[in-house]
Each structure stands twice: as structure tokens, then as C-alpha cells.
Amino acid sequence: MKRLGFFAALPFLLALTTPVVVTWSAPATVVRTRSPGTASVRVRASLIPGWHIYSMTQKPGGPKPLTFALEKAPGFSLGPVSGPKPENKYDAEFRTNTEVYSGEAIFVVPVRWTKPLAPGDTELKVIVRYMACSDKLCLPPRKETLTALIKQSGGK
């Protein structure tokens, strides 16, 4: 019975002991109109030295690729995300070539809305899933939820 309790608590214990090696941020995006339209949210990944994350185009059979999604928000959707060109690197842990980002990377996340924005600022939740590794250790895949603020600068 004790063993069952340990395994049930294992995900919680791992979450508490897994180091944070990537800091994600998304500064406010200013739009000029409330009308249906699009905006580009800039999402920044800042990694501590010696660590990397895998690209959005990482091929299957290796580490988990980077993904972006939008938490359920009626009338809003994400377009294709773009980012810097990843570095190609052989990964001995996965025994395959990988595409990685280290240091800092900025991704452009297009957000589209089909109805006029409500007055005031609009908060959207952008979900980032990624896997971080160093040359010696890979952390379990993680999910971060960022608040992307769409600020209106006036207009109709």
C-alpha cells in the first residue's frame, strides 16, 4: 500500500524538484482596432546557460518538439508560429540529429479574432509545451501557460 502511495505522489514530487531552466514571457501586444483582425504576440524563451529546448520542427523519433496552443477562447485562434532558425546538433542521448534553441529565442505567435474585441484589454492564455535538456540531463516535458495581453490603443 505504501508503494502505491509513493507512485501516486511521484508526479507531484517531480514537479517540485524539477529545476526551472527556461523562463517564458509575452509582453503586451497593442492593437489599433476592436474590429476582427490579427495581432502578433511575441513570446520570449530565456534559457540558462548550458541548456536548450527543441524546435517546433523537430522530427519524430527523438525529443518532444516545441508547441504553442491557445487555451479555449471562443472567437480566437492561433496561426502558424514562426521563430528563429534552430541550431542543428547531434544528440547522443536520443542518438539522432536535433534542432535546438539555446540562450534566448523569440517566437511570433499570430492571434486571430473573428468578433470585435470587448472594450478594454483582452487576456488570452497561450500554452507552451517543450522539453529542455543539457549535455548531461533531460528534464521531463513541461507545459507553461502564459498570459498574452491584447491592449487597445483606441480606434473602432
Could you tell me which residue, 133 or 19, shows the higher pLDDT?
A: 133
Over residues 103-145, the pLDDT tens digits come to 999 999 999 999 998 888 999 999 999 999 998 899 999 999 9
pLDDT of residue 14: 47
Q: Supply the pLDDT for residue 147.
A: 95
Total of domains in the chain: 1
Q: Does the residue 14 lie in any domain? A: no
Q: Does residue 15 lie within any of the structural domains?
A: no
Residue whose grid cell is 504553442: 68
Q: 73: closest CA among 123, 143, 35, 145?
A: 123
CATH code (residue 114): 2.60.40.1250
Place 71 in a pLDDT band, splitting at 50, 70 and 90: very high
Beta strands in the chain (DSSP E): 22-25, 29-31, 37-47, 52-54, 67-70, 76-78, 87-91, 96-102, 104-113, 122-130, 132-133, 142-152
Phi-psi bin for 61: left (phi > 0), alpha (psi -120 to 50), beta? left
Does residue 68 belong to any structural domain of this protein? yes
- Report the amino acid identity of residue 129: R
Q: Does some domain include residue 25?
A: yes
pLDDT class of 10 with cuts at 50, 70, 90 = very low
pLDDT tens digits, 25-58 = 999 999 988 889 999 999 999 999 999 999 999 9
Instruction: Give the residue numbers spanning the domain of 117.
Output: 20-152
Question: Comparing 67-71, 100-104, 135-139, which segment has the lowest mean pLDDT?
Answer: 135-139
Is 95 contained in some domain? yes
- Which residues fall within 8 angstroms of residue 24, CB to CB, at 6 or more apart? 43, 44, 45, 46, 128, 144, 146
Is 11 among the domain residues?
Answer: no
Instruction: Classify residue 10: in a domain, yes or no.
Output: no
Q: Does the residue 6 lie in any domain?
A: no
Asked whether the predicted pLDDT for residue 154 surpasses 80, the reply is: no
Q: Reduced to 3 states, what is the DSSP secondary structure of residue 4?
A: helix
